[in-house]
Amino acid sequence: MAEREEVKNKQVLFKNYVDGFPKESDMYVSTENTIRLKLPQGSNGVLVKNLVLSCDPFLLLLMRKSDHGGLFSCYTPDSPITGYGVAKILDSGNPKFKKGDLVWGITGFEEYSIITDAESLFKIEHTDVPLSYYTGILGMPGITAWAGFYEVSTPKKGETVFVSAASGAVGQLVGQFAKLMGCYVVGSAGSKEKNISVLINHFLVLLICFNGVSFVLVVDFLIVLTVTRYFPEGIDIYFDNVGGKMLDAVILNMRKHGRIALCGQISQYNLAEPEGVKNLLPLIHKGITMKGFTVFDYYNHYSKFLDILLPFIREGKIVYIEDVAEGLEKTPAAFVGLFSGRNIGKQVIVVSRE
Amino acid sequence: MAEREEVKNKQVLFKNYVDGFPKESDMYVSTENTIRLKLPQGSNGVLVKNLVLSCDPFLLLLMRKSDHGGLFSCYTPDSPITGYGVAKILDSGNPKFKKGDLVWGITGFEEYSIITDAESLFKIEHTDVPLSYYTGILGMPGITAWAGFYEVSTPKKGETVFVSAASGAVGQLVGQFAKLMGCYVVGSAGSKEKNISVLINHFLVLLICFNGVSFVLVVDFLIVLTVTRYFPEGIDIYFDNVGGKMLDAVILNMRKHGRIALCGQISQYNLAEPEGVKNLLPLIHKGITMKGFTVFDYYNHYSKFLDILLPFIREGKIVYIEDVAEGLEKTPAAFVGLFSGRNIGKQVIVVSRE
């Protein structure tokens, strides 16, 4: 019987803890392990076949030795890296799921995974949209963007909004949400060839347009000039995905009672020590609120979020750009590429189309 | 008639723009000017006799060449410095005030001032408390503490509260408000001999008690240890009056969904360039809100605030410590002393007792 047999399980394994930038050699692909396609007796987890995996910047934090404020556990060397993905249930010991169900949530970067914390998975009910969307617009980045914009930033029609990493998994949605709300919005984005630290030392030349959202490629001592140029009357909302020098510069151009949603700090993850943000005094003088948040506090709104997002997607009011790599083997390059701005849109890995 | 005559008007004049620490020689006392004790014809301002003047840290910002986010105007060399004070109306061109009224608000560091923006003054209705309180507990620092604690920090009974500069004009009130609400509260304070930058390099030995609020003298690489020691389970609310290294250290010890009220940054005002705050990533992981505020957004609550504070003072539930210097001549030393922690309690200058 096939379920008793062991099959090969291709995996992306973590090599060792990382300091600065991640390198492709911090992971390695192995086909040495096998797995039995049946859950062990008594398990209340699920056995899944992974279909789509998601390269998200926060995975780099799991490659660092730190307690991450108790939010994440670090990776273990020579174990598969983990992250968000879409998968199909092959066997379930949990009453919420049955064989054949599609789910999204934290899984392994491998062909097959046993997920013991099955309660953390979300069942996929709507399959008229691409499955990969559940790693992006309809998954963690989607609800991150939704919560960070609508809940954390308390936007009002006509306000001015600046989004950094605005072509990324989260940023591209924030820009479109802001447009839909009637805000003036400009986003900054890394360029294809330039890595973040280069981006942070060069000024932009380019203004591109993406579903109505203006994009600028920016930074460093010229950030302030750029920001001033595109926001002559200042910024009401800054949705910050990059942190560091960009945050420091944007604060100077915030308007009175502005709000800064701290979502991520991709410019800092590759540094041994974070850059300091110096311009905190204007937060006092202008009565600005800077609020950090994680998606974990907002997953309880997921069904409300789906009710809003699915019609937007079906009616084409929101578009979502993905950068699709085919095959688990592409993981190291795709992941490392995130930190050099190589991806255009949300980076996903297709493991299997079935 | 006396009103036609000119009288001597002793003044504290500003010398020139300041870089780092203020020095006594950045101001000078002059008795050369005279003033006629009658408003010019057609003025809608008021002429006042100054009774008590207030040495507040933010005055140092006015000694710097900067636009201060449009919030303040810098001082003009060889003009009197200005700040909060309590004064008696000698002549009024404004229907809100009449001769003999007591008021508090922005006035000059001099014996007599003409205040053109009379609308910014508050009339003093309750004189059963010391008049100097209207430069402190019942004035700008009082409503700052009240707004920053009750409105900005959204405290709940049983939460843990840390206050820096906790014996200062604002901090001593925040500590007592937190006690009254049933919070666990610890404050840090500068010592008599040590200036802030020394404070920021030495560890405390001392734990003092002040109307039920514990005080610690802290900082630098030992800040984290101290904060951990007094808050083994972390901090829910940090009321920040100092900024810089202290803020950086406290963030690391904040609890999930903690709130940081940014009220002032006295450790930074004497620096040519502010220190950077590096630990912003925990704001994201812990969902922490950091909110800057100024008292100007809360003056419309002043009568509500008085209704709460006056009974507290009369019943002795809140005490207020003042460091009283007698005579305008004491201004330069008293002001400079703020930045070396020389004052114990709120620093005021009594100009006249009549």
Could you give the ipTM of this predicted complex? 0.84
Range of weakest confidence among A19-23, A77-81, B348-352 = A19-23
* Rg from Cα positions in chain A: 21
Q: Tokens 């812990």 sit at which residue?
A: B286
Q: Is A300 on the interface with B (CB under 8 A)?
A: no
Residue B181, exposed/middle/buried by CB under 10 A (0-12, 13-18, 19+)?
A: middle
Instruction: Kindly state the average pLDDT of the residues A106-115.
Output: 97
What is the C-alpha separation between B177 and B155, in angstroms, rounded?
A: 10
**A301 vs A216, residue with greater confidence:** A301
B309 has a pLDDT exceeding 90: yes
Instruction: Kindly state the average pLDDT of the residues A90-102.
Output: 97
Size of interface A-B (CB pairs under 8 A): 110
Query: Which residues are CB-neighbours of A316 under 8 A, at least 6 positions away?
Result: none
Segment 73-102 of chain B within 8 Å of chain A by CB = none
Residue A4, exposed/middle/buried by CB under 10 A (0-12, 13-18, 19+)?
A: exposed
C-alpha distance from B30 to closest chain A C-alpha (Å): 32
Instruction: Kindly state the average pLDDT of the residues A21-47.
Output: 94
* SS3 (DSSP) at B280: coil
Long-range contacts of B222-231 (CB under 8 A, 24+ apart): B223/B249, B223/B250, B224/B249, B224/B252, B224/B253, B226/B188, B227/B162, B227/B252, B227/B253, B228/B253, B230/B162, B230/B186, B231/B160, B231/B162, B231/B186
- pLDDT confidence of A120, banded at 50, 70, 90? very high
CB of A290 closer than 8 Å to CB of B251: no
For residue A215, the surrounding DSSP H or E stretch is strand A213-216
Amino acid at position A196, single letter: I
What is the C-alpha separation between B6 and B35, in angstroms, rounded?
A: 5
**B96 vs A271, residue with greater confidence:** B96
Nearest one of B114, B120, B105 to B41, comparing CA atoms: B114
pLDDT of residue B24: 95
Range of weakest confidence among B86-100, B254-268, B304-318, B333-347 = B333-347
A291 vs B292: CB contact, 8 Å cut-off?
Answer: no
Most confident of A243-247, A349-353, B211-215: A349-353
Contacts of A264 in chain B (CB under 8 A): 284
Question: Which residue from A243, A247, A294 is facing B285, i.e. has the nearest CB?
Answer: A294
Other CB atoms within 10 Å distance of the CB of residue A34: 11
Contacts of B276 in chain A (CB under 8 A): 248, 275-278
pLDDT of residue B69: 58
A277 has a pLDDT exceeding 60: yes
pTM, two decimal places: 0.85
Question: Which residue from B264, B273, B284 is facing A292, i.e. has the nearest CB?
Answer: B284
pLDDT of residue A71: 65
Mean pLDDT of chain A: 86
Nearest CA in chain B to A297: B287
What is the C-alpha separation between B19 and A141, in angstroms, rounded?
A: 46
Q: pLDDT (tens digit, 9 = 90+) per residue, B190-245?
A: 654 333 333 333 333 234 445 556 555 444 344 555 677 788 899 999 999 989 88
B335 has a pLDDT exceeding 60: yes
B277 vs A277: CB contact, 8 Å cut-off?
Answer: yes
Q: Is A164 on the interface with B (CB under 8 A)?
A: no
- Give the number of residues written for chain B: 354
pLDDT of residue B35: 96
Q: Is B243 on the interface with A (CB under 8 A)?
A: yes
Q: pLDDT (tens digit, 9 = 90+) per residue, A168-182?
A: 789 889 988 998 899
